[in-house]
Amino acid sequence: MVGPGRNPARYEGPAVRFENVGLRYGRQTETLRDVSFDLEPGSFTFLTGASGAGKTTLLKLIYLALRPTRGLITAFGQDVATLPREAVPALRRRVGVVFQEFRLLDHLSAFDNAALPLRLAGLKPKAYRDDVGELLAWVGLGERMHAMPATLSGGEKQRLAIARAVVGKPDVLLADEPTGNVDHEMALRILRLFVELNRLGTTVLIASHDQDLVRQSGKPVMHLARGKLGPASVGRAA
């Protein structure tokens, strides 16, 4: 079975650490205020909160799409604020992201969408063809690997987005509302896929407003409200 693997680079402490992080757009009120938490290697955590609470913003800070206005963010033992620009791509490759809107390329097949991170990294198709095919089979798209995105269902697009996010074997996987466009049965299937990825060693953080899914997972939960992180809790086991 193809699955994510731990990056060989070593680091001490949490995979991701936020210490009193704040983020402000211009002169507006801070979107995030005094946010502190650790994501331990191999952990599985949900991030909940109402629309506009700052969940997507927090994920963007982790994968370096945004920089904090204040506070300290450490990723794999490195202070992201002092990270040289040339080191950013390598760090980003250690973080897989499942975007809320999928961001699939309509002119590429399911196989080519999944393989895109490897292709952009300079690998030749013969070096990854078998692995990508096995990964697509693992997420239930083995018979759809040549299909174009327009012909895929919402659940199939979501699983393809997950395959693309993990094809480079990231240390950390972030998912932004990954079950927002599928029914409950498919949401549970996607949850089981994330649990399996986590079992194979990937640190998982899922931003979700699906309280039923969170409760059934039995996983730790961080809750954002008005830009502040409340005490951690634990979802009810299924």
Domain boundaries, the chain: 9-94+170-229, 102-169
| Per-residue pLDDT, 187 | 86
Check if CATH label 3.90.1150.10 holds for domain 9-94+170-229. no
| CA neighbor of 161 nearest in space, from 171, 173, 172 | 173
From residue 122, how far is each of 80, 89, 98, 125 by CA, in Å?
Answer: 25, 13, 22, 10
* Alpha carbons 198 and 44: distance in angstroms, whole number: 7
| Per-residue pLDDT, 81 | 87
* Alpha carbons 89 and 168: distance in angstroms, whole number: 13
* Residue-level pLDDT, tens digit, the chain, 238 residues: 444 444 445 567 899 999 999 999 888 889 999 999 999 999 999 999 988 889 999 999 999 999 999 999 999 999 998 889 899 988 999 999 999 889 999 999 999 999 999 998 899 999 999 999 999 998 999 999 999 999 999 889 999 999 999 999 899 999 999 988 788 888 888 898 899 999 999 999 999 988 888 988 899 999 999 899 986 666 644 3
Cross-strand pairs, 18: 37, 73
Q: Which 8-state DSSP code applies to residue 99?
A: -
The secondary structure of 161-214, three-state, reads: HHHHHHCCCCCEEEEECCCCCCCHHHHHHHHHHHHHHHHCCCEEEEECCCHHHH
Place of tokens 């331990």: 40
Q: Which 8-state DSSP code applies to residue 146?
A: T
- The C-alpha angle with vertex 208 and arms to 206 and 210, in degrees rounded to 5, equals 135
pTM score over 0.85: yes
| Per-residue pLDDT, 117 | 93
Residues in the chain, how many?
238
| Per-residue pLDDT, 182 | 80
Residue-wise burial string across 81-117, b where 16 or more C-beta atoms lie within 10 A, e elsewhere: eebeeeeeeebbbbbbbbbbebebeeeebbbbbbbbb
| Per-residue pLDDT, 4 | 46
Q: Which 8-state DSSP code applies to residue 30?
A: P
